[in-house]
Structure 1
Amino acid sequence: MAGEPTVSLSELRSLLASGRARLIDVRSREEAAAGTIPGALNIPVSELESALQMEPAAFKALYSVEKPRLEEENLIFFCQMGKRGLQATQLAQGLGYKGYGEVWLLTGGG
């Protein structure tokens, strides 16, 4: 996965502590329900493209949070092993999102 932006665990902790990270858990709803990082928004990778293309009001109605802005810094996608996080990162990049990254969840989840 070389060449793709990544966020180290220490960077993630720092971003979370300062409130500067927007986390999106791209695992399935069932996986996220079993445990995730507190404050993470669950959008399964299969729904991510349509979610990121929604009008802001529709996104907020569906997910109960503001839609990420294209220029949003530290928009971080994560999954269990990295494959879906990488897919989400590439998808966001293709849609014009600027400040994105991906991080892997270690075995055991959130």
Structure 2
Amino acid sequence: MNRMTTQEVKEYMENNKNTSLIDVRETEEVKAGKIPGAVNIPLGLLEFRLQDIDKSKEHILVCRSGNRSGMAANILESRGYKVINMDGGMLDWDGPTE
């Protein structure tokens, strides 16, 4: 599984505008703030929402600390998706939120 720190994700997103962000936290957690442009698909619903995830794109997975997004990365990677896990999650994120 590919991994990036929050700082690496910020830099990567600046240079790769087509990269998708998927926040796998629960809806209530996301209400406190998410990375602009991130799509919320809670981990428990991920397998039911595969049709909503573009297989031709690369996806950065985000959660609170990096654990759930790591599980999500394993699920998606095993189904042929290109994914990157953001280590440290929103706890380490110091960029903009919405």
Return 5+ residue gaps in structure 2 as ranges. none
Q: RMSD over aligned Cα, in angstroms?
A: 1.9
Distance in 2 separating the partners of 1:105 and 1:93: 19
Distance in 1 separating the partners of 2:77 and 2:65: 20
Distance in 2 separating the partners of 1:10 and 1:108: 9
Q: Which amino acid aligns with 1:85?
A: S
Aligned twin of 1:64: none
Aligned twin of 1:39: 37
Partner-residue secondary structure (3-state), 1:12:
helix
Find 1:93's aligned residue among 66, 77, 83.
77
Distance in 2 separating the partners of 1:17 and 1:95: 27
Aligned twin of 1:62: none
Which structure has the higher relative contact order (CA within 8 Å, separation 6+)? 2
Aligned twin of 2:7: 10
Distance in 1 separating the partners of 2:90 and 2:30: 14
- Aligned pair count reads 92
TM-score (norm 2): 0.81
Q: Which amino acid aligns with 1:37?
A: I
CA pair 77-25 structure 1, distance change in 2 beyond 3 A:
same
Tell me whether 1:102 sits opposite 2:88 in the alignment. Answer: no
Tell me which protein shows more strand as a share of its residues.
2
Distance in 2 separating the partners of 1:13 and 1:107: 14
TM-score (norm 1): 0.73
Distance in 2 separating the partners of 1:96 and 1:108: 28
Per-residue CA deviation, residues 25-68 of structure 1 (Å, 9 max, x unaligned), is 0000000111111110000000011111x3xxxx3xxxxxxx31
